[in-house]
Amino acid sequence: MSATTAAPAPIPAKAPRVETPLQRFISEFAESNIALGALIVFLCIVLIAVFAPWIAPQNPYDLAQLDIMDGRMEPGTVGGAGFTYWLGTDDQGRDMLSGIMYGLRISLVVGAGSAIVAAIVGASLGMLAAYAGGRTDTIIMRLVDLQLSFPTILSALMILAFLGKGITNVVIALIVVEWAYYARTVRGTALVERRREYIEAAQCLALPTRRIIFRHLLPNCMPPLIVVATIQIARAIALEATLSFLGLGVPITEPSLGLLIANGYEYMLSGKYWISFYPGIALLITIVSINLVGDHLRDVLNPRLKK
């Protein structure tokens, strides 16, 4: 090639690696070992809960299987039924390990179930408020403000006092308590996103409103929504346990983690710690692992903290 050539062959630059947003998100999420570990722990908990009937030594809800003679046995004792109570028994002679496994089922179903319904209700209302604006927005947001000005525990207590006990009512109470968080989050994000150029562009193209909301606005509101949902699942699980502890949640025959802990309260002062201690640990691990995941999700999804 002659040295006087005006336009030389372009030097191939190293092609930059193109990452899809999802790949980028996964690789950034995987950067934190703690969050990854927490995710694995959480998945294990889910598996235990799902397969509890097959792996638990005992069905703790079947009163016929419980032997009152085995009541309040220390961890590691071999019971009348011939198997070892690794985590001890409660006053009914219920194997704590089985009780915890079954209790996790209730906690997870209640937590995830209420979070999903609340997310759908809250996100829809939040989106409606942001997109419709005006009076609709005012009414919805007043409701949100009212709901949020009430501490969760208080609203939940009231609703349970009106409706009575039981898993369904706990879930209803949790949904009522939670929807406002989603609504506020989605509305806030949607309002910001709405003013962005791409929405204006979509509106200029006269795309149908439904399409703009679901294809353009909603996907961009997802990151904060996911973060809120993660945190809310953990909160719902904790709140259900609290309500059960106060005696307003699940019935005594099918104890959740909170009720197992409450049952151990009176024996605690006499040093029989395990009835309250181990369900509490299970509850703690569940909530911590969800919170760790959520916490890291927030860091990864928050563009303001990106370098």
Partner 1 sequence: MEPSIPASAAPPTLQVRNLQTSFFTRAGEVKAVNDVSFNVGRGKVLGLVGESGSGKTVTGFSIMRLVDEPGRITGGQILFGGQDLVKASEEEMRQIRGNRVAMIFQDPMMTLNPVLRIDTQMIETMQAHRKISHEAARQRARDTLGMVGIPSPDERLKAYPHQFSGGMRQRVAIAIALLHEPDLIVADEPTTALDVTIQGQILAEVQKLAATTGTSIIWITHDLSVVAGLADDIAVMYAGRIAEYGSVADVLDHPLHPYTNGLLGSVPSRNKRGEPLRQIPGMTPSLLSLPPGCPFQNRCPRAADVCRQDPPMAEILPAHEARCFRPHLEEAGVAA
Partner 2 sequence: MSVYLLRRLIQAALVMLAMSVIVFIGVYAIGDPVEILISPDADQMERARAIAALGLDKPLWQQYLSFLGNALRGDLGRSFVFNEPALKLIGQRAPATLELAFAAMFLAILVGLPLGLYAGLRPDGVGAKAIMAGSILGFSLPTFWVGLMLIMVFAVQLGWLPSTGRGETVEILGLRWSFLTMDGLAHMAMPALNLALFKISLVIRLTRAGVRETMLMDFVKFARAKGLSPRRVIGVHVFKNILIPVVTVTGLELGSTIAFSVVTESVFAWPGMGKLIIDSINVLDRPVIVAYLMSIVLMFIIINLVVDLLYSVLDPRVRLESK
Residues forming contacts to partner 2 in the complex (CB under 8 A) are 34, 146, 149-154, 157-158, 160-163, 234, 238, 241-242, 245-248, 258, 261-262, 264-265, 268-269, 271, 273, 276-277, 280, 283-284, 287-288, 291-292, 295, 304-305
50 binds, among partner 2, partner 1, none (CB under 5 to 8 A by kind): none
Residue 41: CB minimum distance to partner 2, A: 12
CB of 8 to partner 1, least distance (A): 5
Residues 6 or more apart in contact with residue 36 via CB below 8 angstroms? 29, 30
Residue 69 has φ and ψ, to the nearest 5°, of -65, -25
Picking from 128, 111, 96, the residue whose alpha carbon sits closest to that of residue 46 is 111
Q: How far is the CB of 248 from partner 1 (least distance, A)?
A: 45
Residue 100: closest CA among 55, 63, 34:
55
CA–CA separation, 240 vs 167, rounded Å?
A: 9
Nearer to partner 2, 34 or 68 (CB): 34
Q: How far is the CB of 256 from partner 2 (least distance, A)?
A: 12
Binding partner of residue 291 among partner 1, partner 2, none, CB cut-off 5 to 8 Å per kind: partner 2
How many CA within 13 A on the CB side of residue 133? Answer: 5
Choose from partner 1, partner 2, none: what does 292 bind? Cβ within 5-8 Å by kind. partner 2
User: Of 92 and 276, which has the nearer Cβ to partner 2?
Assistant: 276
CA distance 100 to 80: 20
Q: Which does 16 bind (CB under 5 to 8 A by kind): partner 1, partner 2, none?
A: partner 1
84, containing H or E segment:
strand 84-85
Residue ranges binding partner 1 (CB under 8 A) = 1, 3-8, 10-11, 13-14, 16, 307
CB of 1 to partner 1, least distance (A): 6
Buried b (16+ CB within 10 A) or exposed e, 217-246: bbebbebbbebbbbbbbbbbbbbbbbbbbe
Nearer to partner 1 by Cβ, of 19 and 200: the residue is: 19
Q: Are 72 and 91 in contact (CB under 8 A)?
A: yes
Residue 7, contacted partner among partner 2, partner 1, none, CB below 5-8 A by kind: partner 1
CB contact burial 67-90 (16+ within 10 A = b; e otherwise): beebbbbebeeebeeeeebebbbb
Judged by beta carbon, residue 195 or residue 307, the one nearer partner 1 is 307
Q: Rank residues 29 and 273 by Cβ distance to partner 1 and give the closer one.
A: 29
CB atoms within 10 A of CB 96: 27
Query: What does 280 bind: partner 1, partner 2, none (CB cut-off 5 to 8 Å by kind)?
Result: partner 2
With CB cut-offs between 5 and 8 Å by kind, which of partner 1, partner 2, none does residue 18 bind? Answer: none
